[in-house]
Amino acid sequence: MKNNGESLKNENKTVFETELLFPKLVMYRKCISTLQYLSSHFDVWRWIPELAAGYTVNGAYKLLTTRPTPTECVPEALLWRKDVPLKVTVFTCRLFRFCLPTKANLYHRGVISPDAQVCVAGCGYQETENHLFLSCPLFGQMWQLVRNWLCVYSVDHYSIVDHFYQFGTLSGGSKSRCSLMHMFWFATIWVIWKERNDRIFGGQVNHPLQLLEKIKLLSFWWFKANALVFHFSFHNWCHNPFVCAGCGRFLIFVV
């Protein structure tokens, strides 16, 4: 056993040296051969973004904060919020960059076979981000149910980022209402993803109306946990969350 282990170790070492280390050494040697040794000059560090002024903390801060935002990204102020759990924000960042472990992504990385990338809802389509959260006949209908609950009306966008922007403006342009709508958006995609995982790994199946109740409850707890003063019940929240959040137009509750 020991001899087999030793030979395997030596074999791996040989593979490492020949296939990984040697090409890098050749590359480094080529790089070094292009350098010129100037004996009359000392080595110096140079801050390339500002050659004249050199490195400053202020310059580095400006460089980091003025980087062009990729078009597929959402402004950080809309993404990083106190009332949405960090794990949900990170999940959303991965969603906007199409980095979630969806079945389509797993297939492209060789993790699952081609016939295993079908949506868990049983619709027969490939499970991509856009399909799972927007166009799936089962999960996609959650947006309509949420809109019905909030009494807002629209059609779904086909791009997940545009859908996020559009959903935020459905109840009006005020900042507080947009913020609340985005919180519902976060809660909806989180519930959809959890339901997807439950169906794959846990074998549990919830009806869309049950998922809607989960969205209501999740958003209720998120908002209540971060509100300084909040005297409303879950029943009030279900009836009119905008009023509970202080950005509603009506103050009538049916008890």
Which chain residues interact with Zn ion by CB under 5 A? 119, 121, 123, 136
Least distance (Å) from Zn ion to the CB of residue 119?
3
Least distance (Å) from Zn ion to the CB of residue 104?
12
Closest by CA to 129, choosing from 103, 163, 164, is 103
Q: How many CA atoms lie within 13 A of 48 on its CB side?
A: 0
Helices and strands in the chain: count of H runs, count of E runs: 13, 0
- Taking the least distance from each CB to Zn ion, the nearer of 193 and 237 is 193
Nearest-angstrom CA–CA distance, 5 and 131:
48
Least distance (Å) from Zn ion to the CB of residue 157?
17
- Taking the least distance from each CB to Zn ion, the nearer of 196 and 216 is 196
Nearest-angstrom CA–CA distance, 124 and 105:
17
Is the CB of residue 176 less than 8 Å from the CB of residue 247? yes
- Taking the least distance from each CB to Zn ion, the nearer of 74 and 189 is 189
Least distance (Å) from Zn ion to the CB of residue 137?
6
- Taking the least distance from each CB to Zn ion, the nearer of 92 and 117 is 117
Element (H, E) at 205: none
Q: How many CA atoms lie within 13 A of 167 on its CB side?
A: 29
Least distance (Å) from Zn ion to the CB of residue 124?
8
- Taking the least distance from each CB to Zn ion, the nearer of 132 and 245 is 132
